[in-house]
Amino acid sequence: MPTFAAVDIGSNSCRLKIARVVAHQLKTVAEDREVTRLGTSVFDSGIVSPEAMAATLRALKRFQRSVQSHGVDRIRVVATSAMRDARNAAAFQAWVKDETGWELEVISGLEEGRLIHLGVTSAEPGAGGHVLLLDLGGGSCELTLSDRRHIRETVSLPLGAVRLTEQFLADDPAPADGLERMRRLIARELRRAHRQIKPDGVQLVIATSGTAAALSNAWAAVSRNGKAGVKAGGKAVAKLNRRRKSAPEPRNHLGVVPTAAVRKLANKLSKLALPEREAVPGIGPRRAEIIVAGAHVYAELLESFELSGFRYSPLGLRDGILAQMLAEHDARASVHREFEHERWESVLATARRYGVDPKQAEPVRTHALQLFHDLKALHQLPPDYESWLQAAAVLRDAGKFINHQGHHRHTQYIISSSEIYGYTQVQRTIVSAIARYLGKSRPQPGDRAMRNIPIEEHEHIRRVVVLLRLSEALNQDRASDVLRVAVRVFPKRVFLELAPGRTGAELELWSLRREADYFREVFGRELFVTLA
């Protein structure tokens, strides 16, 4: 039973979750969390402070001991908004690598939203309908519109609780002018979100992360009794509770926190000093420092989209990371089909965005897949390369969107720079390199396309490039029907036997024979191409 671990290095806190695969499902065996405020200095100065780095690294070393004690087989470590913004992110990544051996991956806001969506929809009850997911972290806020577990739209906004607190709410209690400027910024960003997110007919709003948990717990405490339990100076919250009794909010159905309640909490928490906010049940001492900003984002967002409220889910980014590892490992897991569908749809969407017709690319993809299977004993590529080869086959002409001349170089840039769901940055770079070498050039370690790819993958790329070059050579005559090819592998030679189409196969025959020298260079065998 393999064991996976996910580490989420957020702008406010670091989280660890370890899960074991049991009967094609994930069973959590350990969790840990540490508030490190990595984003505090970033949002003020643009760099991660040495103190924040050291605090985060101490947490990671503690996580590492837990990872080792549970015999984890695979770990993925990701960082989000603070590291996306930090000018010295590369220095921190190198420090983490040196101290722990872990590769720290900085993911985009859209990838963050996708992973959160995967984690929530794979395990949260009621997440299979028309749902809006909200994740408010320390540095950003991700909104994802989901329909039957498929992403329809995702947007990432710079509205994190730590970011806004640093920018607008440095004084305590929150200054009136700071609150007003913050609300104007929130409104401006939400107007941008409205252009992408249309939550008409949403059946449920699911919110994740610490701010949602704090607001949900605070509302639950208010709902249970008329006193919020604030100690000294808690008259404002007690008054809020008395007002709630005289004007009751909508029923808290299935843990849903009503929008009106979020607005009241935001307004009242804004008037409290830090010690008073710390005493509010459900808020907690560390969350109290940033809850005002987070509460206002939730209130503005729910009102702006005319949503009735939200339900908190403890699932989040780390659960999505684990779900993806399960999907990649176990084809029988229920999440595998959803993950593969989502990933391929993203490849097709990227192709269309750059003027590539997936139907025209399909014959090349089909032949690439056939050659991958028929020549498996020869190329001995890891299983992941099957997916990467297919993606490269569909996207190989995307560079023509920029310029037909030198379009292979443009293709490499487009693929490596595009947001393709389900592929890490390294994986996108590998796909881009596969699509890059379809002209006269050949993969070389010093090439720009190969520079950011682990050295152990270089030989794999040389081999898979040959498969794609053969697949493209099999589809030279776009006007003819798709050729059928039979593959026979012998110890010293490989035979490709073509069945001519309606317009023959002379052009494909010539194109394939041109690849024979490179085939021999890579695989050490002669390539013979004949007509059936």
Q: Residue 253: pLDDT above 70? A: no
Residue 229 within any structural domain of the chain: yes
User: Residue 242: pLDDT above 70?
Assistant: no
What pLDDT shows up at residue 233? 38
- Closest to 312 measured CA to CA, from 225, 209, 220: 209
pLDDT reported for residue 479: 60
Q: Does the structure show a pLDDT above 90 at 500? A: no
For residue 245, count CB atoms less than 10 angstroms from its CB and return exposed for 0-12, middle for 13-18, buried for 19 or more.
Answer: exposed
Per-residue pLDDT, 226: 55
Any domain includes 169: yes
Quick one: DSSP state of residue 32? E
Residue 232 has pLDDT above 50, yes or no: no
Would you say residue 477 has pLDDT above 60? yes
Cα-only R_g, the chain: 27
- DSSP β-bridge partners for residue 105: 78
Q: Which of 424, 450, 475 is a domain's end point?
A: 475
Helices marked H in 281-357: 291-304, 317-329, 334-353
Shared domain check, 38 and 103: yes
Last residue of a domain, one of 324, 358, 375: 324
**Tokens for 342?**
């989502």
188-229 pLDDT, tens digit each: 999 999 999 998 889 899 999 999 999 999 999 888 765 434
Strands 309-312 and 256-258 turn out to be: antiparallel
pLDDT digits (tens, 9 = 90+) for 419-434: 898 898 899 999 999 9
Rounded distance, CA 283 to CA 159, Å?
Answer: 19
Residue 523 lies in a domain: no
Is 491 among the domain residues?
no
Q: Is residue 119 part of a domain?
A: no
**Share of the chain residues as helix, strand and coil, in percent rounded to the nearest 5:** 50, 15, 30
Q: What is the CATH number of the domain that holds 157?
A: 3.30.420.150
**Across the strands, what pairs with 133?**
144, 206
Tell me what pLDDT residue 138 has: 92
Pair (94, 146) in one structural domain: no
pLDDT score of 478 more than 70: no
143 and 217 share one domain: yes
Phi then psi for residue 160, to 5 deg, are -70, 155
Rounded Cα distance between 369 and 519, Å, is 17
Digit-coded pLDDT (tens) for 279-300: 999 898 889 999 999 999 999 9
Residues 365 and 304 in one domain: no
In this predicted structure, what is the pLDDT of residue 503?
A: 78
The DSSP letter of residue 403 is -
pLDDT of residue 207: 96
305 and 336 fall within a common domain: no
Last residue of a domain, one of 475, 503, 526: 475
- Measured CA to CA, the distance from residue 112 to residue 117 in angstroms comes to 9
Please determine, for residue 164, whether its predicted confidence score (pLDDT) is greater than 70: yes
- Across the range 47-69, mean pLDDT stands at 96
Q: What is the pTM of this model?
A: 0.82
Q: Quick one: 373 and 249 in the same domain?
A: no
CA distances from 25 to 2, 19, 121, 322, 330 (A): 11, 9, 14, 10, 9
User: What six digits make up the tokens of 217?
Assistant: 């717990």
**Residue 483, pLDDT score:** 87
In a domain, 480, yes or no: no
Q: How many domains does the chain have?
A: 3
φ/ψ of residue 227, rounded to 5: -125, 135
pLDDT at 251 (0 to 100): 37
Beta-carbon count within 10 A of 224 CB = 9
What are the φ and ψ backbone dihedral angles of 386, each rounded to 5 degrees? -60, -45
Judged against a pLDDT cut of 80, whether residue 247 lies above it is answered with no
Query: What local confidence, expressed as pLDDT, does residue 24 receive?
Result: 92
pLDDT category, 236, cuts 50, 70, 90? very low
Residues 138 and 188 in one domain: yes
Please give the mean pLDDT across all residues of the chain: 90
Q: How far is CA 455 from CA 278, 295, 413, 444, 461, in A?
A: 51, 47, 20, 11, 10
CATH code (residue 41): 3.30.420.40
Q: Is 150 contained in some domain?
A: yes
Spatial neighbors of 206 by CB under 8 A, at least 6 apart, are 120, 124, 126, 127, 131, 132, 133, 134, 310, 311, 312, 313
**Residue 339 falls within a domain, yes or no?**
yes
Same domain as 144, residue 238: yes
* 94 and 161 housed in the same domain: no
In this prediction, residue 229 carries a pLDDT of 41
- Looking at the fold, whether 306 and 405 belong to one and the same domain comes out as no
CA–CA distances in Å: residue 172 to residues 179, 271, 420: 11, 9, 42
Q: Are residues 383 and 268 in the same domain?
A: no
- Write the CATH number for 359: 1.10.3210.10
Q: Position 175: which residue type?
A: P
15-21 contacts at long range (C-beta below 8 A, 24 or more positions apart):
15/316, 15/317, 15/318, 16/63, 16/66, 16/67, 16/318, 17/318, 17/319, 17/322, 18/66, 18/67, 18/70, 18/72, 19/322, 21/326, 21/329, 21/330, 21/333
345 and 399: one domain? yes
Q: Is the pLDDT of residue 527 over 50?
A: yes
Quote the domain boundaries for residue 217. Answer: 124-314
Task: Work out the burial of residue 426: count CB atoms within 10 Å of its CB; fewer than 13 is exposed, 13-18 middle, 19 or more buried.
Answer: middle
Q: Label residue 176 exposed, middle or buried (CB < 10 Å: 0-12, 13-18, 19+).
A: exposed
Tell me, what's the pLDDT at 248?
36
Instruction: Check residue 398 and give its pLDDT.
Output: 97
The yes-or-no verdict on residue 237 having pLDDT over 60 is no
